[in-house]
Structure formats: structure tokens, C-alpha cells
Structure 1
Amino acid sequence: MAVTSRDVARLAGVSQPTVSRALRDDPRVSEDTKKRVRDAAVLLGYVPSEAGRALSSGRTRRIGLLVTDLKNQFYSNIIAPVHDELEGIGYQLMLHTETADNETVAERLIANGLDGVILATTTVDSVAPLRLRDRSLPFVYFNRTAAYVDADATVVAPSRGLSEAVTRAVELGHRRIGAVLGPSNTSTAQSRELALRAALAEHGLVLEPDTVRRGPYDTASGDAATTELLAMPAPPTLIFCGNDVVAYGALNAARRAGFDVPRDVSVVGFDDLPPAAWPIIELTTIAYDLSGMAREAARLMARRIEEPDAPLAHVEYETSFVERRTLAAAASR
């Protein structure tokens, strides 16, 4: 006969609900009681049933992470810290991928029996947060936020890092500056563009319309946009990119067009993903604690599930400028 939680309770001298709480590390249970319960479970060979936990608590202990493209290096660098943080507090990570953030996405998330969702793909005009709110499925914004529904969020504050980058660029003689920005319907693209324009204005500079391109946060977008910018009669001497992945595309385009980086054109990214520091790339970029931000999103998600009436938390991560090989003195043309 299979060992049950009642058997563990009898051996440990506690109630059955206490066994459940102790095995999920509930802070309301003393450490001494947790030890007695765990020792009893090991002695009896008891393995908790996830299905049983869900039935008794009304929770599955599963949290979804919604991303757009598993091949995109940005997302691959947040999955591990979210997983590790959730696992450490007794939750399972369920990865969901979609190419669009719409009503269908929300319904699929709701149908998967999740306790909550970390949204990493939100657009400012997305209806998914509305649908999740209306169906009472808790969620947290990671990196991007939507306009219609306020919620817990971890976001980047781009101003300081971009201000430091522009100041350094001006010192190096850059005056004609281009930008390959992210999608205009994302909060990240909007905030980074505003911060970049404000930093340039401090030095009497502007982003001219002909030197600005917008597109997805992917390598192909950076490649195509930079190809266009470098084909101009008077190309920019420096290109700011919406993120590092876009910047990798910009570097590819420059190489293909016969432009030396940084002698002929400089490139600056955003995110400081691990490959940015590789000797073969050495990308100048804007850095922040991406792993810490992902872990905080996981903590906020668990908090929202366990304390549904807690005040909303908006956690901003400060940025800094990291200078590497792809930035040098402006080319004289």
C-alpha cells in the first residue's frame, strides 16, 4: 500500500495539514517541526503528489513565463534565473512561447492551469493583461509593460547609462548619430528612445529622421537597418542599437559593407548580454543586472500569488555604460 501524508503525520506527531505545509517550507511551521516531518517522510519513503497538492490547496505551484522567440539570446538569458528562483521557493516554471501577444495568448495561458504568469513579451497596446485580469490570473510584467493594466513589474531605467554613453561619444567627436530602435509599440523602445534623445539634447544634438530605423529586437532587424544607414551619402559615425541582439546584426552589416568597426563606424548596444564581452565581439553597451531583474520578477510573482492584496511593486534597475572595442573616435569624412 502506498505511503500517504497521514502516515507521515502519525510518525511525526503532527496533523496532516501540517505535513503539507512543512513539506512546502511554509514559514508558519517551525524549523523543528519541518525537520521532524521531513525525517518521517524520508524514513517512510513518502513522495508528495503534485496533483494532491493542487487539489488540497487550489494551486498547481506552476508559473508561466511568456516569451516570443527561444532563439533570441535575450530570452535564453532570463530563463535560468527565473527557473532557479522559482524552484527555490517551491514553484515550477512552465515556459510558453508565442509570436503574438493577443487574446488567444491569454486564453491559452489561462487554460494551462497556472497560478500566475510572468509576461516578457508585452506591447503597450496588448489586450492580454486585460484578459488575465478579468479572469483573475495574477501576472507580473518583466522588462516591458502595457498601458491598460497596472501590475507588479521589473523594468530598466535607461537614462543614466545612455547619458554616460552619449557624453563619451561626444568626447570622441561623434556628431552624426544614428539609431536602430526597437518596435514602437513596446515600452522598452519608447523609454530608450526618450532617454537617448534627452541625452543628445544635453549636448545640443538630435537624432535626425533619416538616421533612425525601427524594427523587431532581433539580429535580422539590426542587419537590415544598418545596411540602409551605411549606404547613405553621409552615414552616421555612431549607431545606437535597441539591444545587443540588434547590435550583433549591425556588426554583421558593417562587416559585409566593408566598414571597419570602430574605425569607420562605432556601434553601441543595450543589455550587456554575456556574448557582448566575448573577445571576438567586445561590444560597447548599456548594462544592468538582467539576472537580478529576472529573479525579482519571479519573487514578485510568488508574492502576488501568496499575498493577493499586497501593494503593487514597480522595481527599476539602474543602467551603466560599459565601453569596449566597438566605440572609438569619430571617423573623419
Structure 2
Amino acid sequence: MVVTSRDVARLAGVSQPTVSRALRDDSRVSDATKVRVREAAQLLGYVPSEAGRALSSGRTRRIGLLLTDLDNQFYSHIIAPVHRELEALGYQLMLHTETADNDTIVERLLANGLDGLILATTTVESAAPLRLKDRGLPFVYFNRIGSLIEADATVVDPVDGYKQAVDRAVELGHRRIGAVLGPTNTSTAQARESALRDAVLSHGLTLAEADTRKVSRFSADEGEAAAASLLSAPDRPTVLFCGNDVVAYGVLNAAHRAGLRVPEDLSVVGFDDLPEAAWPIVDLATVRYDIIGMAEAAADLIVRRIENREAPIENVRFASSFVPRRTLAAAQAG
């Protein structure tokens, strides 16, 4: 027989609405009554219905994580920490994957009865944040932000990490610096390119257009194709900075196919410090920041926004630093 809240109410000697309020830790219920209700629920093995709680509270306690850049392995590393943090806060994570960021996404998301949304792969020109605000669905930006509307966000500051990385490259004798940069329609790629150019310029050097390529997606395949184009030139850069670690993996593949040794013939630097970057077979020099902390902060921000719609907008910035590894070494004398 299925145990209901009516059974708990009878055993605890309270009304059915009081059971619901007590199990939600409602401040209108005394601590003594909450204890009595919880003991009765435990004794009977009562499990509250999520649907019932949603109807009574007006919330589903479900938060969506929207991913559209499905080829970028970076995002597989944030799902678990977001899930754990939301679970600790009493919410469920619902993963939504789409192949494009367009107007129909918003309607599909709204149809899923979400309390809020974490936007992880927003492009700068995306209209989805504007439509979400118009429809009253709380959201936060994770890593990437849109340009049409301001909202809570967790982002990386790439300045210190790139400065340290470029300082080290120049110290190792690199003067011909190249890059495989990220998609121009993402805030992450824009911020990283600006920080990299400033770091190179601080040494009186330039990041020449002939020595740079831009991928349309953060993917290993595009990183490899872009690097192949650069490495086929007779006068090529001695070090390539990459838009992220995934792109750097592709650059390493391109170097291998071209018969170039890393780091003897070509140095490579990534960005993100994904777990695979530290594998001995990869040992990628890269720029690091607290990915897990950033994911947890995004979960905290969306819950805060759901529970306090009038709270001031908050942007949490995470510092970056350089991680020296095997793929960055001294430039060969030309």
C-alpha cells in the first residue's frame, strides 16, 4: 500500500497541509511539529511526491543546463560539480543539449517546467537570454556571456594566466609567436585573444595575422586543420597558443602528422587545464583556473536568483595562472 501525506498527518496528529509545510521546513511550522512530522514520515517510509511539491510551491526545483557546443569536451567536466552543488541545495539538474542556439530553444525549455537555467554555451549575439528574460525564466551565464542582456555570470579572467605563459615563452627564446584562437562569436575567445595580444605586446612583439588562425568551434578537428595551415608555411611560429585545451589537442595532432616534434620543433600552450592535459602522454602546458569552483558558483548563482528575483546582478570572476609542462620548451635557434 502506498503511504500518503494523509497517513503521516494522522500519525503526527496534524493537518495534511501542515505535513507539507513541515517537510519543506516552512517557518510557519514550529520546530517541535517539524520533528513530529518527520519522525512520522520516517516511521511510515513516506517519500514526498515531487509533482505534489511542485504544485504546492509553484516550483519544480529543476534547473536546466543548456549545452549547444556538443563537440567541446570541456563541458563534460562541469556536469558533475553542477549536479552535486544543486543537489546539496535541494534542486535537480536537467541537461539540455541542442545543436544550435535559436529561438525554438526557449520555447522547448519553458515547456519543461524549469525553475531556472544555466547557459553554458551562449554566443555573444544570441537572442535566447533576451527571450528568457521576457518570459520570466531566471538564468545565469557560465563561462560565456551574451552581449544583448546583462545577467549573473561566472567567468574566467585570462590576463594573469596568459601574461605568465607569454613571459615564460619569451624567457625560453620564443620570438615568433602564433595562435589558434577560438570562435569570434564567443566572449571567451574574445577575452583570451585580447589578453594574449596584450601579453605579447608587453614584450615588444606582435601576434601577426599571418601567424594566427581562428576556429569556428572549440574542437580538436578544427584545431588540427587550423594548425596544419600554419605549420605548412616555411617560416612558421615556434610556439602556438591555443584557444583552449581541446583546440591544443588538435594542434598536437597536426604537428605529429607534419613530422614535427613537440616541444623540440614546436611548443604548444593550451587553456583550461582539463584533466587530460596532465596525462603523461599529453603533458600540455596550459592556463589553469578553478573549473569546479566556477561550476559550483554558477549553481549557487542560479539558486540565489530563483529565490530572490530582486537580488543585484553578480559576476564572479576566477583568476588564471600558467601551468608549465613538457609542451613548452626552449625555441630552437633558427
- TM interval, short-chain normalised: over 0.9
Corresponding residue number in structure 2 for 1:263: 264
Pairing of 1:222-233 with structure 2 (within 5 A)? 222-233=223-234
* CA distance in 1 between partners of 2:25 and 2:299 (Å): 17
2:47 is aligned with 1:47: yes
**Percent identity (aligned):** 70
Instruction: Say whether the 8 Å CA contact 1:184–1:190 is kept in structure 2.
Output: yes
The answer to whether structure 1 residue 178 and structure 2 residue 182 are counterparts is no
The corresponding residue for 1:114 is 114
**Is residue 24–residue 90 contact of structure 1 (8 Å, CA) maintained in 2?**
no
Structure 1 pair 18/242, CA: closer, same or farther in 2 (3 Å)?
Answer: farther
Gapped regions of structure 1 (runs ≥ 5): none
Q: Which string of whole-angstrom CA distances, capped at 9 and with x for unpartnered residues, describes residues 298-323 of structure 1?
A: 11111111111111110000001000
Equivalent residue, structure 2, for 1:242: 243
Q: Which 4+ residue blocks in structure 1 deviate beyond 2 angstroms?
A: 1-39, 68-72
- Displacement after TM superposition at 1:213 (Å): 0.8
Amino acid in the other structure paired with 2:146: A
Going from structure 1 to structure 2, the CA distance change for 1:147 and 1:319 (only over 3 Å counts) comes to same
Superposed, 1:114-153 pairs within 5 Å as 114-153=114-153
Give the 3-state SS of the residue equivalent to 1:240 in structure 2. strand
For the residue of structure 2 that corresponds to 1:247, the secondary structure is helix
Cα distance in 1 for partners of 2:165, 2:101 equals 32
Deviation at 1:105, TM superposition (A): 1.4
Question: 1:71-110, aligned counterparts within 5 Å?
Answer: 72-110=72-110
Following superposition, the deviation at residue 225 of structure 1 comes to 0.7
* TM-score, normalised relative to structure 1: 0.95
Amino acid at match of 2:43: L
Q: CA deviation at 1:44?
A: 1.3
Letter matched to residue 188 of structure 2? T
Give the residue type in structure 2 aligned to 1:89: L
Quote how far apart the aligned CAs of 1:23 are. Answer: 3.2
Partners of 2:251 and 2:287 in 1: CA distance: 16
What is the CA deviation profile of residues 187-222 of structure 1, one whole-angstrom value per residue up to 9, with x for unaligned ones? 000000110111111111111001111111010111
Structure 2 residue runs of 5 or longer lacking an equivalent are none
Residues in 1 aligned to 2:28 and 2:312: alpha-carbon distance in whole angstroms: 22
CA drift at 1:14: 5.3
**Separation in 2, partners of 1:26, 1:295:** 26
Deviation readout 1:70-96 (Å, 9 max, x if unpaired): 553201000000111111111111101
Question: Hey, what does 2:326 align to over in structure 1?
Answer: 325
TM-fit CA distance, 1:38: 2.7
| Mapped partners of 2:237, 2:33: distance in 1 | 67
- Give the Cα separation in 1 of the matches to 2:99 and 2:92: 23
Cα distance in 2 for residues equivalent to 1:34 and 1:241: 56
Equivalent pair of 2:119/2:140 in contact (CA under 8 Å): yes
Indicate conservation of the 8 Å contact 2:50/2:60, yes or no.
yes
Secondary structure of 1:223 counterpart: helix
- Residues 1:274 and 2:268 are matched in the alignment: no
Q: 1:62 is matched with which residue?
A: 62
SS at structure 2 position matched to 1:298:
helix
Corresponding position of 1:11: 11
State the superposition RMSD in angstroms: 1.8
User: Structure 1 stretch 273-282 or stretch 28-37: which is displaced more?
Assistant: 28-37
Aligned to 2:192: 192
Distance in 1, matches of 2:28 and 2:275, equals: 40
| Pairwise CA distance, 1:68 | 2.2
TM-score (norm 2): 0.95
What is the CA distance between 1:258 and its match in structure 2?
Answer: 0.4
| Alignment partner, residue 311 of structure 1 | 312
2:74 maps to a residue whose letter is F
Pick closer, same or farther for the CA change 1:319–1:16 going to 2, 3 Å.
farther
Partner letter of residue 320 of structure 1? S
Q: Contact conserved, 1:70 with 1:76, CA < 8 A, in 2? A: no
Q: Which moved more, 1:6-15 or 1:81-90?
A: 6-15
| Change in 2 beyond 3 A, CA 1:40/1:177 | same
